[in-house]
Structure 1
């Protein structure tokens, strides 16, 4: 089984962005969730600055910088959705020592 088949089989949304906020991958559930939340098709190739408010982008820049500086290994928060709550967990990935980007998982519930 290949990695795409595995990630598309996850019952959790997964979206991957590079260090410049460009979306480089979204699994099947990620596409479904963001279509429902943002009415957005074809996430791959979009820049997250077009999907978020300026103040959110400033927060993301800080989070990404903390990842790049290895000050933190993950970031998470709980948000309200039309169907209840979702927990968003972001983890960095690296190309050598340089931040390659961030993998974001959206769990359609709280983790607590």
Structure 2
């Protein structure tokens, strides 16, 4: 092929059209692959080390048993060794996704406990 064949206006036009089409496909792929996470999705876990605060609190036996049930479910779904702390923290994340009215309704459904007392 000679240089004159590539100087043809039709060839240059076709190449330009293909460049535009290719760029459009890449833009569409980027918009799908690089899309920001949905606002309702949970934040990605952080890998940095953070300090922790140890605390104790009281809960009815049924709630304590529910933590163990949730740990078992996570284990059956392929997540190994979920701690009680992780279950509670995930619950806090889920509560954080509620609007203020839904949060108050969820809190109102809880059994009232006398702090620091065993029943």
Question: TM-score interval w.r.t. the shorter chain?
Answer: under 0.3
User: Which protein has the larger Cα radius of gyration, Structure 1 or Structure 2?
Assistant: 2
Q: If the length of structure 2 is used for normalisation, what is the TM-score?
A: 0.27
Q: If the length of structure 1 is used for normalisation, what is the TM-score?
A: 0.28
Structure with bigger RCO (C-alpha 8 Å, 6+ apart): 1
More helix by share: 2
